[in-house]
Amino acid sequence: MVGVTLVVFLLMHLAPGDPALLIAGQNAPPEVYERIRRSLGLDRPLYEQYLLFLTRVGRGDLGRSLLLGERVADLVGQALAVTLGLALAGLGLSYLIGVPVGIVSAVRSNSLVDQASMVGALVFVSVPPFWLGLILMYVFGLRLGWFPISGHGSLAHDVLPAVTLGLGGAALVARMTRSAMLEVIRQDFVRTARSKGLAERVVIYKHALRNAVIPIISLLGLRLGWTVGGAVTLEMVFSRPGMGRLLVNSILSRDYPVVQGVLLILAFSVMLGNLFADIFYAVADPRIKYR
């Protein structure tokens, strides 16, 4: 985490441009610009600014936005709720769609269904989410009028961005599920289960899936971070006041404390995703235990 803070801090401060100039506007005389710089604390040496930032973070204080004057924790908190909701919906959808498709593809491998769903998966993995978002917006928002085109507020507003996010994720989950299942299905214990005369449904869901689930869960840990990242880019297209908007606006206006706050939280969410994945391992496979 400290490494993340250092990289984030240095990246922002070494990038050209500074917030004082943006606040002052290009017509402001130099003395006004200098005064604004001083009032923002940007005239202090870089290491001093960084140490100040670290001690504050240690106390749970993310600082205040240079431009809005509001607490970064409040800004990030409001935005996080919007983004996290979308990311979780997207992640949920990607597993809801991806796992069944993957299982069916594996069970009926090399059939038409398998080939069709894998081609579909390839398409959705390859398409950039913002483009898919625009297409869905055009078709289901503008042409068919089923869902709101953009904005935030009701459940209906969440459908298109969540589906956009979910489809890309589902494609990956389906491919992962298929290959994991294929590996398991060919193993002896599955054959044994079948030979015992168990119903195909029980063989697949109870014996095979349970054993194929580890890579699928580890993907969940990785996907959580990725999905938050995906939600962030989609927010610009769907005009949602989430972390993406906050991040892009704060980068463009060089509002350092906000950028640092957002990135810290994003890094934290990736770590949290991995932690959850580890916990799920233990639940899914009792052989994995922490000593």
Is residue 272 close enough to count as binding another protein by CB under 8 A? no
- Closest to another protein by CB, 136 or 216: 136
Locate all alpha helices (DSSP H) within 186-255, ordered by sequence.
188-195, 200-202, 209-238, 243-252
Is residue 13 close enough to count as binding another protein by CB under 8 A? no
Among residues 63, 98, 102, 148, the one that binds another protein under rule CB under 8 A: 148
Closest CB 248 distance from another protein, rounded Å: 8
Stretch that binds another protein, among 141-149, 182-190, 259-267, 275-283 (CB under 8 A): 141-149
In order, the DSSP letters of 47-81 are HHHHHHHHHHHHTT---B-TTT-SBHHHHHHHHHH
Cα–Cα distance, 232 to 222 (Å, whole number): 16
Stretch that binds another protein, among 53-61, 133-141, 180-188, 222-230 (CB under 8 A): 133-141
Closest CB 79 distance from another protein, rounded Å: 8
Stretch that binds another protein, among 42-50, 209-217, 253-261, 269-277 (CB under 8 A): 253-261
Closest CB 136 distance from another protein, rounded Å: 9
**DSSP 3-state assignment of 157?**
helix
Site for another protein in 14-53 (CB under 8 A): 15-19, 21-29, 32, 35-36, 39
Cα–Cα distance, 176 to 213 (Å, whole number): 10
Closest CB 242 distance from another protein, rounded Å: 8
Is residue 139 close enough to count as binding another protein by CB under 8 A? yes
Locate all alpha helices (DSSP H) within the chain, ordered by sequence.
2-14, 19-24, 30-40, 46-58, 72-107, 112-126, 129-136, 155-185, 188-195, 200-202, 209-238, 243-252, 256-284
Is residue 201 close enough to count as binding another protein by CB under 8 A? no
Is residue 202 close enough to count as binding another protein by CB under 8 A? no
Stretch that binds another protein, among 88-96, 135-143, 201-209, 275-283 (CB under 8 A): 135-143
Half-sphere exposure of 109 (CA within 13 A, CB side): 13
Closest CB 117 distance from another protein, rounded Å: 7
Is residue 144 close enough to count as binding another protein by CB under 8 A? yes
What is the residue whose two structure tokens read 């052989």?
287
Question: Cα–chain-centroid distance for residue 2?
Answer: 21
